[in-house]
A and B are shown apart, each in its own frame.
Chain A
Amino acid sequence: MQEELQAGFPILTFLTFFPLLGAMAIWAMKDEDLIKKSALGIAVLELIVAAWLLLGFVPDTAAMQYAERYNWIPQLGISYHMAVDGISILFVGLTAFLFVLLVLYAWDTVKVYPKAFFMSLLALETTIMGIFASIDLILFFVFWELMLIPSYFMIKLWGLGSQCQYAALKYVLYTLLGSVFMLVGFCLLDLNYYSVTQTYSFDLVELLSVPIPIDQQLLIFWLIFMGFAFKAPVFPFHSWLPDALTQGPIPTSVLLAGIKMGTYGFLRFSFPLLPDASSDGTVVAILMTLGLIAIVYGAIVAIIQADFRRLLVFSSISHLGFVVIGLFALNFQGIQGSLLTMINLGFTTAGLFFLAGFVYERLGHTNVQECSGLAKKMPLLATFFLIIGMASIGLPGTNGFVGEFLILLGAFQAYWLYGAIAVTGVIFAAAYFLWFYERAIFGPLKASLPAGLKDLNTREWGIGLALSIMIFWIGLYPSPFLRMINGSVQEVVDRLNHGTVAMETTNTHVLSQVISD
């Protein structure tokens, strides 16, 4: 049983539901200026509380921290159990950070129904925070599903493309299809727990204490895989992503590409709960193959894209391949690198989407050919493009390097061929980004660019600067971040090596419970 540290104040509940309360408050407001200021205030306060959470986080331990636990539906073993550990803590920080930038981005780019937009955005923050703070499987699932509703409306109502209706529906139905299978997997875990202890439980910490037969594990693994693979999205479940990200508004693209909930799910639930299935030879081979295909396929498709946002979509699929490779290398470096890369993508891929948004606001499109010569008109934009783009392709000194280096190290340790193929992805990434940069940012000044093209304004400049600071901080001094995640990563690796709890120890555990009762 994992150790749990309690907090005096229900800080995770606050972090989760405060944006929702804020959204309700905004509902009552009439004045547009007040709405924007309140939304910003809420997001900033959320970030401050999240920063305080990170500062108080005890590093180098696998303990669940800031735990809160109440029974919710005891008949089925569902509890309201919130806690963070090394796996989820950085995601909480990243989410709070990105939402501040998103509010700033939306400040004057959202022109229709601004009130509804900020309400949806804050509601979305609640659900994403909930996803990372939930330890109970059903509670996690609740937030996981709820997330679809605000994002559905955002893609549909504020989508940039003409096909946004179709994209929104496709996104919801694909994700839902995956998650219903995931729910079955969760229920099987619940029933397996029942068969051992005669009580129901969906609580991750409790589920970790019982053995699960290997055939059950494999079944559950694939069921849960469906949910996470669609959301992540792992190749070949990615077909909703280009639609949702290019038809939807920039904020949903930032979130769907920047916050890697799908791969987080693997690390949070699949690995610890189903260690024998996760390290099963066939499973690893399949996942590694999917990851490698995603890396190469995503990168090659990205090269030929004429639209910058589509290029970003495929680069994001390629990066996700790296994350999968790192995870299924099943060793410390690989998993550590994957976790860090998931966070990094929240700064790099998400950052590039912000920049794409700045271009879109000015030109009404993100066509690479049509932007030629942007550097002459917008030097500041070109600078940020270079910084964030270099981080995205993993230049030493930036955060991308640390993550990808660890992943490749892990992959080589696991099996040299995996590492060798994955490395080509880095080269492809350099190719598509540099070629894009050459054509769009440099290149001869296009006559069709509007004459009064202005460079970044203060808000946009601030967004770029905040992202750049994080990129260099993690790139040059990653150890505080790594220390936060190390304890939990080690715990996961240990479980992967030892499998689920053996039968004997569980029996003694049950016995000791009986005695203590």
Chain B
Amino acid sequence: MTFNLALTGSDLLLLLPEIFLTIWLCVVLSVDFSMRKVSNETLAHLSIGGLLITTFILFWFDQADITGALFKNMYVLDHLAIYFKIMILIATAMVILISIDYVKSFRFFKGEYYFMVVMSAIGMMFMASANDLLSVFVTLEFSTFGFYVLVAYLRDDVRSSEAGLKFFILGVFAAGLLAYGISLVYGETGTLIFPEMASAQGSYGLAIGFILIFAALGFKIGAVPFHSWIPDTYQGAPTPVTAFLSIAPKAAAIAMLIRMFYVGLASFKPMWVLLFVCAAIISMTYGNVVAIAQKNIKRLLAYSGIAQIGTVMVGLAAGTKMGSDAMLFYLLTYLFANIGAFAVIIAVSSAIKSDEIEDYSGLNRRSPFLAAALFLFLLSLAGVPPLAGFIGKLYLFVAAIEEELYTLLIVGLINIVISMYYYLIVVKKMYISEPIDSSPVPVSAPIKAVIYFCVAGTLFLGIYPKAFIDWAAAATLMFSNIAKTTAAAPALTSLVGG
């Protein structure tokens, strides 16, 4: 097999968003090095400018239907990839905005912070396009390297260093699992490219290989039982990085999971449906139950994030076109609610220097705007109508009911009630408890902008979701031929091949 890497102009066009962003990023980095006078804000605004231009390029691709595959099908740019890339870019732009004030408190490497954030974003854009197991490995590691640095950015803070170390060691371990899984799958099927795997024969090696790969990706998305790094890392990392970590890598890894299981393993659906049902049930229940006991808001959102990823996996467990539509839409609602919630946390913690839920007492009196916004985001996360989260959850559950996954459904619904409980505890603190210190909490302009944007997104996706559901449905059009399973019995024998 010879590799022909001669690229044509039209091939390069498919890579244009990544190439453009890389060049732009290098320019921003050079500006930081060469012009000492350029302020931190300017660098942030330059980075956001690059991200926005890239987003527009992707919108144009989406509208003009510019899609295709590159490098022997290793890299694919289709509507699914474009959807996730746009989501990652928007998340990154918002994260940079909420970082601006935070970065001022760093003592070193202020400019490099933005470089690291955008670098990770480029890595995640590649993740969304990965179409074979090698590019899965490479892009996953690429995006994670940026995060290793970012998590430990507060190098004088013991917690941040601890978070960085934990994240690094478990991340490398997950990479090892991934490599091992890939080698098993390659050994069994003789190919690394997803579409070519569709015709593979089932075997134990293949099953173990994919379980290992799932474990590695489960580490990325923070599904139980691969979640143990999440709470400490979330708590220790700089809060904007936590916000970034809580959505962008998860979205990118979900894109990989969808591609891997919907395209590569479509013929083994009964088997992996069982896997995702279990993972979803455990993640939702564990995340929600443990969240009740949390005293720190970042840890609370960490556990709620574990539960939310369990909810997203309901879509994977359904394994249908409707399931993937629902997941895409749900991630979008999660993006707005979660980044919005973190923006409020950053604003509050920069004023009161604390992330303890106890210190949110009487926030309504100190800043009605922040309290109302956080209230809205938490309700959306809990799935209260007519906010975005409700429509997302409804969509996911309809997909699950259609596949007759009743156990999953009942667990999911009970979890909504549990999650409402701890979200209401925060709400109670903000609205009912008396403030210890009643000085107002100031909100800086960029954070305010992000909060407004997220509020608008949360309301708009709830009240007029039609356009976005259409977009998500168009992105997963290629899965419309996936058969609905009527017999829910998992056919293990089909995987083992008799």
Residues of A within 8 A of B379 (CB): 149
Tell whether, in the assembled complex, residue B416 and residue A141 are in contact, meaning their CB atoms are under 8 Å apart: no
Query: Which B residues touch A142, using CB under 8 A?
Result: 385-386, 390
Q: What is the total number of residues of chain B having a CB less than 8 Å from a CB of chain A?
A: 29
The chain A residue sitting closest to B406, CB to CB, is A184
Shortest C-beta distance, A242 to chain B (Å), equals 21
Asked if B397 contacts A187 (CB within 8 A), the reply is: yes
A74-B466, A141-B385, A149-B379 in contact; A187/B398 too (CB < 8 A)? yes
Q: How many residues of A contact B (CB 8 A)?
A: 31
B413 x A184 contact (CB < 8 A): yes
B414 an interface residue at 8 Å Cβ cutoff?
A: yes
How far is B398's CA from A138's CA once the two chains are assembled, in angstroms?
12
Name B369-413 residues within 8 Å CB distance of A. 379, 384-386, 390-391, 394-395, 397-398, 401-402, 409, 413
Q: A76-B398, A165-B428, A187-B401 are in contact. Are A176 and B385 (CB under 8 A)?
A: no
Query: Whole-angstrom distance from the CB of B48 to the nearest CB of chain A?
Result: 32
Q: List CB contacts (< 8 Å) of A169-213 with chain B.
A: 169, 172-173, 176-177, 180-181, 183-184, 187-188, 190-191
Q: B384 to A149, Cβ gap below 8 A?
A: yes
A152 surroundings in chain B (CB, below 8 A)? 424
Picked from A75, A172, A190, the residue with its CB within 8 Å of the CB of B473 is A75
Q: Is B401 touching A188 in the complex (CB atoms < 8 A)?
A: yes
Q: Any chain A CB within 8 A of the CB of B470?
A: yes
Contacts of A191 in B (CB 8 A): 398, 401-402
**B482 interface residue per 8 A CB criterion:** no
Chain B residues in 8 Å Cβ range of A176: 416-417, 420
CB distance from A515 to the nearest CB of B (A): 28
Is A146 within 8 A of B391, CB to CB? no
Q: A169-B424, A173-B421 are in contact. Are A184 and B385 (CB under 8 A)?
A: no
- Across the interface, do A183 and B413 meet the contact criterion of CB distance under 8 Å? yes
B424, A71: Cβ atoms closer than 8 Å: no
* Residue in contact with B417 in the complex, picked from A149, A156, A177, A184, CB distance below 8 Å: A177
Within the complex, the shortest CB–CB distance from B209 to chain A, in Å, comes to: 35
Per-residue interface assignment for chain A, residues 292 to 305, with 1 indicating a CB less than 8 Å from any chain B CB and 0 otherwise: 00000000000000
List the B side residues contacting A75 at CB < 8 Å: 325, 466, 469-470, 473
Contact between chains at A183 and B414 (CB < 8 Å):
no
Given contacts A187-B397, A191-B398, contact A180 B432 (CB under 8 A): no
A183 in contact with B432 given A169-B424, A176-B416 (CB within 8 Å): no
Docked pose: A165 CA to B395 CA in angstroms: 33
Q: How far is the CA of A250 from the CA of B374 in the complex (A)?
A: 29
Which chain A positions have C-beta within 8 A of B386? 142, 146
Residues of A within 8 A of B397 (CB): 183-184, 187
Q: How far is the CA of A180 from the CA of B417 in the complex (A)?
A: 8
Contacting residues, chain A, for B431 (C-beta < 8 A):
153, 156-157
Please tell me if A370 contacts chain B, counting CB pairs below 8 Å: no
Closest residue of chain B to A200, judged by CB?
Answer: B398
Contact in complex: A172, B394 (CB < 8 Å): no
Can you offer 10 A-B residue contacts whose CB atoms are under 8 A?
Answer: A73-B465, A76-B469, A156-B428, A156-B432, A176-B417, A181-B413, A184-B397, A184-B409, A187-B394, A188-B401
What 3 A-B pairs come out closest when comparing CB atoms? A142-B385, A180-B413, A142-B386
Interface residues of A (CB under 8 A from B): 71-76, 138, 141-142, 145-146, 148-149, 152-153, 156-157, 165, 169, 172-173, 176-177, 180-181, 183-184, 187-188, 190-191
